[in-house]
Amino acid sequence: MPEEQKKVQETTPFYNLPLTEVYEKVGSTDQGLSVNQAQERLSEYGRNELSSGKKKSLLVKFAEQFKDLMIIILIVAAILSVVTSGGHDISDALIIMAVVVINAIFGVYQEGKAEAAIEALKDMSSPAARVKRDGHVLEIDSKDLVPGDVVLLEAGDVVPADMRLIESASLKIEEAALTGESVPVEKDARIEISADSGIGDRLNMAYQNANVTYGRGTGIVIATGMYTEVGKIAKMIESADETETPLKRNLNRLSRVLTWAILGIALVTFFVHIFRLDTITQEGVLEGLMTSVALAVAAIPEGLPAIVTIVLAIGTQVLAKRNSIVRKLPAVETLGSTEIIASDKTGTLTMNKMTVEKVLTNGKVVDRTEKLADGDMTLRVMNFANDTKISQEGDFIGDPTETALVKFGQDQGFQISSELTANPRVAELPFDSDRKLMSTIHKLADGRYFVAVKGAPDQLLKRVTKKLVNDEVSLLTAEDRNAILADNHAMAHEALRVLMMAYKYIDTIPEELTSEDLENDLIFAGLVGMIDPERPEAAEAVRVAKEAGIRPIMITGDHQDTAEAIAKRLGIISADDSEGHVLTGAQLNEMTDDEFQKQVGNYSVYARVSPEHKVRIVKAWQNEEKVVAMTGDGVNDAPALKQADIGIGMGITGTEVSKGASDMVLADDNFATIIVAVEEGRKVFANIQKTIQYLLSANTAEVLTIFIATLAGWDVMLPVQLLWINLVTDTFPAIALGVEPNEPGVMKEKPRGKKASFFSGGVLSSTIYQGITQAFLTLGVYGLALAYPAHPGNYTMIHQDALTMSFATLGLIQLFHAFNVKSLHQSIFKVGVFKSKTFNLSILVSFILLAAVIMVPGLNDIFHVSHLDFYQWGMVLAASVSVVIIVEIVKFIQRKMIKN
């Protein structure tokens, strides 16, 4: 497409121009294009469809998964494990490579998320459109539309492209997926719109993929394909930054630290071993190399990625049972670190269903739960002046506002079907956006006619001359008018959408049915206030979120008053808040990025916002180093969902676009479910943290034991023994720790935030001192075995017994230490020593595997260990149990220090 044409589509504010200029800009008239013109433009502008961008091949996507540092370390560990076994034992290598390949496959699967979102946008497009060409109305494939085409719209159509309206007759378009506004928008082709108006306020425009719910209209296409508002959203989805999850960030940081630490220790150990040799021989060098390699393998927590994956997978299963479908495994943990939940209002915090909230009738205001009197006139009018249909299945079909009125009538016991049978509609004046009224005429049994009128209070009040109070009709005074206006204002201030009901009786139907003849000298019946109400459990969920240190933010395309009222009812902002903590999209446009960054903490509610605003808000909070979760259900939410640290789509009302851009989908569209997911996310992080603490303290003990023994000239453990301990103790107990139940009070703690790591909260210091403790207890047992041998005078037996006892101690001490790690600060007796069956079974299996190599004949020869007597086993068990006593004492001191 020529650059000049691109510029016109991208930058021209068509909603702000008179129609003559619109025609000039797009090179057309109200009669549309000729067939030849349309063909020429199709070759210039391209088809009216969304592009998916350049796709990577499957092979490239797969290869990119191996760039991760932890993955590289695991591959090296697999190679080293084969080397240390002389090529005879490849089981470790196979397990490690299986983990690597599974992770890569999962990563490739997740790569397609953005592509799926774009494809979903494509699928939403209207398949056909009715256009004027060469003076005839044709039905064509909507993909063949071009700027300048004149398109006809009517109820039931999907808008096929962005267009400026030329004509509108009672036209209503539902734009919730694009703007977030919960009710259809009344369009007006003749209205003047200011240049700074947001999408939701451009009443003379119709946007691609919106649904026509009422009336008809004609529009001229001003943008197609990637230049429509939906196309701009597709571009934002493609270009949105792929945010690194806290889990990935922590694992990468851990990988870097471990890599350099392991390489350093292995090299030092190798050179110390060489230095100790009296004569440097090939056998001595190979022995030193084998010890260093075994030490490196032992130091690498090769089971960690597998365990993390298992813990996350179990977390996804738990969440699935609680209505949260996780599309991306790390999202489970990310939830636990969430500090900001930026939620869309419609459908998430509210029901996305217009509901009658209050009714002013017979001179008093009643709540929706109160029973109206039989034959209440306000109830009668709202049901008669209504086009809602009820299907055989009992579903309401029609405009959301009108269906809310009929639903309210049904709840009140008003039988609309039987009433209309007794008093059939014989004539009507349909709703018109100019007069903002709707009237129906019903024939009564006595031969008279009943006129029911429903409409905007400011318009209908002009036509009312009487009032009905306490079932008596009297003249409407100036004071009465002021009182009605005051009641209308009070309802509107509570963000209620207010409609007025009026009626009268006539003897004959006018020959020419006009508003002037019919809609006058009316009797005021009442006011009806409606709202898309908040979900019953949402307020409690907001309270729990705040208690957990999470800040809820409401971002909506709805009006400022509505957003503020719902936010106050939910507790997002206080009921007496008068500080102006609501920011509109227009006000946000006036701020520079720097200005907004300084003030982002002042606002908890954003109203009348566009997709660009949502992304900007999310980025601003991310710039504050906050972990941001974003919820949404519409096309307009997709870019922000992808930009957020965790995007949460809606399973029921959500579009496929928003689901495709999300990391997690709520099966019940409920904000309260997010809080449940946050709790599970916190548990997942805590369990991963416990696993890391356990693995690294154990690995620290192994490294220190070998390193100090090498410095002292002791052969405290053989490579094969070290690898067996590593395999047995790093597997089952670590997995069991990963599925531990939640500790009490997890939702009363503050979020960890982006800067927190797996070593936060005292984990690093605990890992170090616990690793040192295990190492010195092991070395202590080895030293005692040499000093007080069971077979004095037999050096070979003394050395083998000492080797066996240090092997058994280092293995058992890690199993006993697993009990310590069940809680970082709490006593294991409070947490529950044998509470978890999974944990108990894992310790038992590991103990059997460890003891078997010592006690089973044949296996002890393979592992170069001897049988131990009762006294030796007692020494091993005493040292192993002592790690629990030492850690319990340290925890007790820590708890006392925290209290003081």
Rounded to whole angstroms, the Cα distance separating 139 from 151 reads 10
Residue 163: strand pairing partners: 206, 221
What would the pLDDT profile of 642-654 be if each residue is shown by its tens digit? 888 888 888 777 7
Residue 186: strand pairing partners: 172
Helices (H), 758-836: 763-787, 795-820, 828-831
> Residue length, the chain?
900
- State the residue for tokens 């108006």: 197
Q: Judge whether 450 and 423 are in contact, CB under 8 Å.
A: yes
Rounded to whole angstroms, the Cα distance separating 111 from 108 reads 5
Rounded to whole angstroms, the Cα distance separating 639 from 232 reads 10
Pick the CATH number of 3-52+120-229 from 3.40.50.1010, 3.40.50.300, 2.70.150.10, 3.30.300.20: 2.70.150.10
Lookup: tokens for 503 = 């009626």
Rounded to whole angstroms, the Cα distance separating 174 from 193 reads 19
Output the pLDDT for position 109: 56
Output the pLDDT for position 585: 87
DSSP state of 345: I
Output the pLDDT for position 238: 65
What would the pLDDT profile of 462-503 be if each residue is shown by its tens digit? 999 999 988 899 999 999 999 999 999 999 888 788 999 999
Lookup: tokens for 654 = 């959500």
DSSP state of 68: S
Output the pLDDT for position 104: 64
- State the residue for tokens 């999962």: 106
Structure pTM?
0.67
Q: Judge whether 604 and 551 are in contact, CB under 8 Å.
A: yes
Output the pLDDT for position 425: 95
Lookup: tokens for 478 = 């100036």
Output the pLDDT for position 273: 72
Output the pLDDT for position 237: 67
Which of 668, 708, 713 minimizes the C-alpha distance to 810?
Answer: 708
DSSP state of 508: S
Q: What are the DSSP calls for 842-889, one per residue?
A: HHHHHHHHHHHHHHSTTHHHHTT-----HHHHHHHHHHHHHHHHHHHH
Output the pLDDT for position 897: 83
User: Maximum CA pair distance of the chain?
Assistant: 128
Q: Judge whether 880 and 887 are in contact, CB under 8 Å.
A: no
Output the pLDDT for position 483: 94
Rounded to whole angstroms, the Cα distance separating 521 from 503 reads 9
- CATH code of 246-321+677-899, in short, is 1.20.1110.10
Pick the CATH number of 324-351+535-675 from 3.40.1160.10, 2.60.120.10, 2.40.30.10, 3.40.50.1000: 3.40.50.1000
Rounded to whole angstroms, the Cα distance separating 298 from 622 reads 38
CB atoms within 10 A of CB 275: 11
Output the pLDDT for position 582: 87
Q: Are strands 605-607 and 628-632 parallel, antiparallel or unpaired?
A: unpaired
3-state secondary structure 770-786: HHHHHHHHHHHHHHHHH
Cα angle 794, 795, 801 (rounded to 5 degrees) comes to: 90
Question: Is 344 part of the annotated catalytic residue set?
Answer: yes
**What is the Cα Rg of the chain in Å?**
36
Burial (CB < 10 A; 0-12, 13-18, 19+), residue 507, is exposed
Low-confidence ranges of the chain (pLDDT < 50): 110-111, 113-114, 117-118, 121-126
May I ask the CATH class of domain 355-531? Answer: alpha beta
Lookup: tokens for 561 = 């008053």
Output the pLDDT for position 381: 97
What would the pLDDT profile of 597-619 be if each residue is shown by its tens digit? 999 999 999 988 877 888 899 99
Lookup: tokens for 777 = 């207890």
Instruction: Please enumerate in sequence order all residues whose Cβ is within 8 A of that of 396, keeping only pairs 6 or more positions apart, or say none.
Output: 388, 389, 390, 403, 406, 407
Output the pLDDT for position 320: 79
Q: Which of 144, 162, 344, 637 is catalytic?
A: 344
Which of 426, 495, 485 minimizes the C-alpha distance to 456?
Answer: 485
Rounded to whole angstroms, the Cα distance separating 275 from 398 reads 88
Which of 532, 450, 501 minimizes the C-alpha distance to 180?
Answer: 532
Q: Are strands 211-223 and 150-154 parallel, antiparallel or unpaired?
A: antiparallel
Q: Domain-by-domain residue ranges, the chain? A: 3-52+120-229, 246-321+677-899, 324-351+535-675, 355-531
Output the pLDDT for position 121: 40
